[in-house]
Amino acid sequence: MVKVKGVFFSIILFLTVGFISFSQEKNNKKFEFYGFIRADLFTDSYKGLNSASDQFYLFPLYAGKDAQGQQINSQQSADLVLMGTRVGMKAYGPDLLGAKTVANIEGDFAGHPSSLTGIIRLRQANVKFNWEKSVLTVGQTWHPMWAGQIYPTVGSLNTGAPFQPFNRSPQIRYDYTYKALTVSAAGISEFQYLSYGPDGKTDQYHRNAVMPEVFTGAEISKGIGTLGAGMSYKIIHPQVTTINNYVAKNTEHSMIFMAYGQIKTGNLTLKAKSTIGENTSYLLIPGGYGVSAIDDITGDYTYTNYKSSAHFINAVYGKVWQVGGFAGYFLNMGTRKPLVNTGSEENPVYSWGLKPEIQSMYRLSGHLARNYRNLRIILEFEHTRAKYGIEGFNSSDGLYSVTDGAINNRFLMVVYYYF
């Protein structure tokens, strides 16, 4: 009952503030209120790693077999969920420093993905300074690895994750456009999509490293085609003190690269993207890091990254009636250096999920959609198969020689009403 009241209060509060703001236009400010109601009705054949009461399904989560050889998580389930409902507001302010300004705040009702669902959650909160050839963005918005408008068009709320980077973070980003070319640079922090380490999932590892994640990228868009590429460099400081009670000095460094393209002609849109890098877990791509060495005196850890690659292709045709297909593939490429036993935990691995036991994974999906004014209805079938390592762990590269598959089939109907 308390949870229901919390949800109701959040909705009323946000809508009230939004409508009041929407009705105002003074002091050179103009307010725009937007959003949608989203309802997901779905069935799954396998329990998975997910959030928002399974509305955001990522991949089947292997849990072994019972005494009769049946997979434990092979369990049919179904639900109707509206946590993807979204509300937002834009405020168009006066020109500052020769730039047109706009502020944006946006939320949904997914709450904290692993616990407090159904309450309002901050998605975006930023201000943009728009000059003739450049844009400065300050605040929380999509991570640059999201790649602007080139993300999969699918029915599922996961929007192609974990085959597509999925992350919104506080950042300062600058984009400069010259003719068909846009170059970008950003300094990025952590908020909701966090790093993993000895103390679980927290932004403290990134904060202790002091340096923000650094991104650089470029995109060329001309005619029907768009091509882009980017890279990020990130440092985290996983430990404050070592196992021998010394001040920990070693940090973990990682780099991630991406390349993408799009062709849009008539009613047909084709998209493709590849992401390859280290410790990709904060982008909702399976990955992490482990310990490769321990200092004999201080006990300070030296870290080694798991390298991952994620790829997708996506095709969509139509406007009023729309059909689309999606194919994604993920590969765990193992560690750069051998993992070691720390003494308290054998070959510790800090990663998204349990440990990076997923060796590979793919997804195939197709959808049919009907758009009518403010209404959008989607029917989708999504097939995801993950190959898990279950025996024959090799500490030299962090991979397994014996695997078993876990498969989820999701039937989904989504109804949007935009306002």
Written as tens digits, the pLDDT of the chain (419 aa) is 434 444 444 544 454 444 444 444 555 579 999 999 999 999 999 999 876 667 899 999 999 999 998 999 999 999 999 989 999 999 999 999 999 999 999 999 887 655 556 678 899 999 999 999 999 999 999 999 999 889 999 999 999 999 999 999 999 999 999 999 999 999 999 999 999 999 989 999 999 999 999 999 999 999 999 999 999 999 999 999 999 999 999 999 999 999 999 999 999 999 999 999 999 999 999 999 999 999 999 999 999 999 999 999 999 999 999 999 999 999 999 999 999 987 777 778 899 755 668 999 999 999 999 999 999 999 999 999 999 999 999 999 999 999 999 999 999 999 999 99
Q: What is the distance between the alpha carbons of residues 237 and 208, in angstroms, rounded to a whole number?
A: 6
Q: Could you tell me the residue range of the domain that residue 222 belongs to?
A: 2-418
H/E element, 28: none
Counted domains in the chain = 1
CATH number of the domain bearing residue 177? 2.40.160.10
Of the candidates 78, 53, 58, the residue with the CA atom closest to the CA atom of residue 386 = 58
Q: Where are the beta strands (DSSP E) in 143-238?
A: 168-178, 181-188, 195-197, 200-202, 213-222, 225-236
Q: Phi and psi at residue 257, in whole multiples of 5°?
A: -120, 150
Bond from prior residue into 144 cis (ω within 30 degrees of 0): no
Contact 47, 79 (CB under 8 A): no
Single-letter amino acid code for the residue at 202: T
Which whole-number Å values give the CA distances from 179 to 8, 111, 186, in the listed order? 48, 41, 21
Three-state DSSP class for 31?
A: strand
Of the candidates 326, 327, 282, the residue with the CA atom closest to the CA atom of residue 308 = 282
Q: 10 Å Cβ neighbour count for 132?
A: 8
In sequence order, which ranges of 138-212 are alpha helices (DSSP H)?
Answer: 204-209
H/E element, 30: strand 30-44
pTM score, whole prediction: 0.90
Place of tokens 């309002």: 120
